[in-house]
Structure 1
Amino acid sequence: MRTWIAPVIALIAVAALPTVLTPYTQDLVLKIAVFAIFALSLELLVGSTGLVSLGHAAFFGIGAYVTVLATGDAGPASLLWLLPAAMGAAALYALFVGALSLRTSGVYFIMVTLAFAQMAYFVFHDTKLGGGSDGIFLYSKPVLAIGSRTLLDLDDKAHFYYLVLAALAFTYGLLALIARSRLGHALAGIRVNEQRMRAAGFRTYGYKLAAFVIGGSLAGLAGFLMAVKDGAVNPELLSWHQSGAVLLMIILGGIGSLRGAVIGAAAFTLLQELFQSEALLGPLAGHWQLTLGFTIIAFVALLPKGLIGLKQRLGIGSRHD
C-alpha cells in the first residue's frame, strides 16, 4: 500500500490547488497533467515492453483532431460519445500501425513508427480536413448532460480541471493494475528477453500489439484533453518533435517507472516554461531550445536513472513505483 501513498497525497494536493492558483498557473498545472497522461501512455511501450517509438504523437494528434472535427459548429457535443470517439480513433490507428510495425524490431521499429506518424502528420497538414498548417478551432466544448441537467460543462474551468485530474488518476491506476496483471508480467518478460518468452509458449506479438493499442488509446485521451484545453489543434501535435518531446519526458523522469513518467512530464514542462521566460532570462529566452537541450543532457549524464533515481543517488532509500 505504501507505493500508493505518495501518488494519492500528490493528487489530493493538486486537487486543492484551484483555490490558490492564478489563471496562468492553473493552465500550467493542466498542461503538466495532460502531458503526464501522454508520457504514461508511452511509458507502457518503452518502460514496460521495451518498444521505443518515435511516432507516438500520431495518436495524441488524432485524438485531438477527432475531438474538434466531430464537434463541428453545431454546438456542444456530448462527452459520452466524443471522448470514446477520440480514444477509439487513436486506438484504431494504433492497431493498424502496430499490426505492421511490430513485425520489425530495433531501429527498424523506430523508423517505421516515425514513418506512420509522418504520414498522419501530412494528412492533416496538407489537406483541407485538418485546416492545413494553421489547424482548426474548437468552437464549443463538450458537456455531459442527463436530460436537461448538465453534470459537466468543460467550458467551466473548475469542471475541466477536475476532469483532467480524474483522467490522470485513471491512467496511472490502469497502468499500475496492468503492471501487476498477467499482461504486465508478460510485457516485462518480453522487455527482458523476447526469445525466451516465445520458447516458453507466449505469443509475444499479441501481447505487444495489446500494449501498443492501449498506449495509443491513452495518448488519444491526452489529445482529447489538450484540444479542449487549448480550444484549437494544429498538425504540430502529430510531428516527430512532439514524439521526441514525450520520449524525453520519460527519459528525464526515469524509464520503467510510472512516477518517473509523471515527474518527467512536470520537469520538462516547467523547464520549458522557465527557459522561455524573457522576464527571467532576457534575450536568452529566444534560444530556449538550446538551453533546454543542454539542461536535459546534464540531467541524463548526472542521473542515468532519471529524476526518480535521485533518492537512490543520494542514498536516501530504494525506488518504488
Structure 2
Amino acid sequence: MNPTSAHLRTPETPLLAGLPGPWTAIAVVLALAIYPLIMSSLGEPFYISIGSRVLILALAASALNLALGYGGMISLGHAAFLGAGGYGVAILAKYGVVAAWVAIPAAVGLAAFAALVIGVISLRTRGVYFIMITLAFAQLFYYLAVSLPEFGGDDGLPLSARSEIPGLSLESDLAFYYFVLFTAGLAFVLLYRLVASRFGRALVAIRENERRMAAIGYPVFRLKLMAFVLSGGLAGLAGALLANLSMGVTPHTLTWHQSGLLMVMVIIGGSGYFWGGITGAAIFLLLEETISTHTEHWNLILGALLLFIVLVAPNGVMSLRERILAARRAPAAVPGKSAGEENAR
C-alpha cells in the first residue's frame, strides 16, 4: 500500500478525531429544536434571536475552520465573504428580488466567486504574505462598499422585509430561527461529509506536509483552492442569513475586526475540530451577551475570560475532550512502582 494513502486513511489527526458521533449529533439537533420553544414558554422571545445569531456565526466560524483547520490557510479576509453574502441579498432585495430560493443561492455564489478570485491570487503565496493579501482584499471590499452610493455608503443597505419562502413567513423570529437551523444544518452536513471524505483527509495531509503531497503527485494548489472557495461560499451563506436577521447589512461586516472575531471563535473552540467553530461561536457570543448586560466594562472582563480559556486549553475547548478521553484510555500507573519494575514482574 502507498504510505501516503495509508496516512490519508488514518483518523488520528485532531480534525478527524473531532467528528461527531450519530447520538451526539441527534442530541444537539434535538436541543436546538426545543430551545426556542423553551424560551417562548419562559416569556423570553429575545433569546430566540440570540440563538439565530449563534447559529449563523457558528456557521461562519466553521467556514473559516474549513480553510484554517484543514489546509492551514490563515485568512484574515473571511469578512469579505461574509459581507458579500449580506450585500448580495440586500442588493437583490433593493431591485425587488426577495425570493429566498433565488437571493440566498445568488449571495452564496457571489461569495464563492470572490473566494475564487482571492484564492487564485493569494494561494500562490505562503505565510504572512497570504495573510496580508487576504486582509488587503477584505479592506478593498470595505472601502468599495463605503465609497459607492449604490451600496448605501457608511449606512449600508437596509432590508424592508426578510427573504420570502412560499407558504412560510420569515418575519416571525421563531419561524426564522427554524429556517436558520434547517439551512445551517444542511451546511454542517456538507462540512461533515467533507471532513470524512478523502478530500478532507488530503487537505489534512497538505496542511501537515505540503511539499511531500506535491512531490507524490497530489494537485495541492487545486485542492487548497477548492477548500478556500467552499469556505468562502459557506461564509457567504452565513452573511446572507445574518443580513436577514439584522434586517440589513453595513460595511462593518467587511472590516478586519469581523475577520478577527471569527478567528478568535475558531481558536477558542479548537482549530481543526469539527465542533471547534460551533463551540467557539457559542462561548464567545453567550459570554458577550451575558457580561454586557451587567457592566459597561464588559470588553475588559470578556477579554480576561477568553485569555483564561486559551491558557487552560491552548488547542481549544474541544481539545479538552480529547485529553480527557486519552487519560481514560491510558492504563493507571501503580503508585510507588516504575514502568520498568512492572515489566520485570
Q: TM-score, normalised by structure 1?
A: 0.91
Match of 1:310 among 317, 320, 327: 320
Q: 1:200 to 1:236 in 2, by over 3 A?
A: same
Pairwise CA distance, 1:73: 6.1
Structure 2 residue aligned with 1:192: 208
Distance in 2 (CA, whole Å) between partners of 1:311 and 1:202 is: 33
Distance in 2 (CA, whole Å) between partners of 1:116 and 1:5 is: 41
For residues 146-295 of structure 1, the aligned pairs below 5 Å read 150=167, 152-277=168-293, 280-281=294-295, 285=296, 287-295=297-305
- For structure 1, the residue ranges without an aligned partner over 5 or more in a row are none
Pairwise CA distance, 1:293: 2.0
Structure 1 residue aligned with 2:332: none
Cα-to-partner distance string for 1:223-269 (whole Å, 9 max, x where unaligned): 01000011011001011000000000010001111112111110010
Distance in 2 (CA, whole Å) between partners of 1:267 and 1:15 is: 19
Find the residue that maps to 1:26 and give its secondary structure.
Answer: helix
Pairwise CA distance, 1:314: 5.0
Structure 2 residue aligned with 1:140: 161
Structure 2 residue aligned with 1:121: 142
Matched residue type, 1:24? F
* C-alpha contact (below 8 Å) 2:162/2:170 kept by paired residues: yes
Distance in 2 (CA, whole Å) between partners of 1:184 and 1:310 is: 23
Match of 1:7 among 18, 25, 37: 25
Structure 2 residue aligned with 1:26: 48
Distance in 2 (CA, whole Å) between partners of 1:242 and 1:4 is: 33
Find the residue that maps to 2:102 and give its secondary structure.
Answer: helix
Pairwise CA distance, 1:200: 1.0
Match of 1:52 among 46, 49, 74: 74
Distance in 2 (CA, whole Å) between partners of 1:217 and 1:269 is: 23
* C-alpha contact (below 8 Å) 2:70/2:272 kept by paired residues: yes
Cα-to-partner distance string for 1:271-320 (whole Å, 9 max, x where unaligned): 1112311xx23xxx2x33332222222211111121112334556758xx
For residues 59-138 of structure 1, the aligned pairs below 5 Å read 59-72=81-94, 74=96, 77-138=98-159
* C-alpha contact (below 8 Å) 1:311/1:317 kept by paired residues: no
Pairwise CA distance, 1:129: 2.2
- For structure 2, the residue ranges without an aligned partner over 5 or more in a row are 1-18, 330-345
1:41 aligns with 2:57: no
Matched residue type, 2:143? F
Q: 1:107 to 1:66 in 2, by over 3 A?
A: same
Distance in 1 (CA, whole Å) between partners of 2:258 and 2:152 is: 19
Matched residue type, 2:298? W
Find the residue that maps to 2:165 and give its secondary structure.
Answer: strand
Cα-to-partner distance string for 1:146-196 (whole Å, 9 max, x where unaligned): xxxx2x322233321111111221122111111122211211111110000
- Alignment coverage as a number of residue pairs: 306
Structure 1 window deviating more from structure 2 (256-265 vs 237-246): it is 256-265
Distance in 2 (CA, whole Å) between partners of 1:292 and 1:53 is: 24
Matched residue type, 1:98? G
* C-alpha contact (below 8 Å) 2:55/2:181 kept by paired residues: yes
* C-alpha contact (below 8 Å) 2:85/2:111 kept by paired residues: yes
Q: TM-score, normalised by structure 2?
A: 0.85
Higher Rg of the two aligned structures: 2
Q: 1:2 to 1:90 in 2, by over 3 A?
A: closer
* C-alpha contact (below 8 Å) 2:48/2:174 kept by paired residues: no
Q: Matched residues, percent identical? A: 39
Pairwise CA distance, 1:10: 1.1
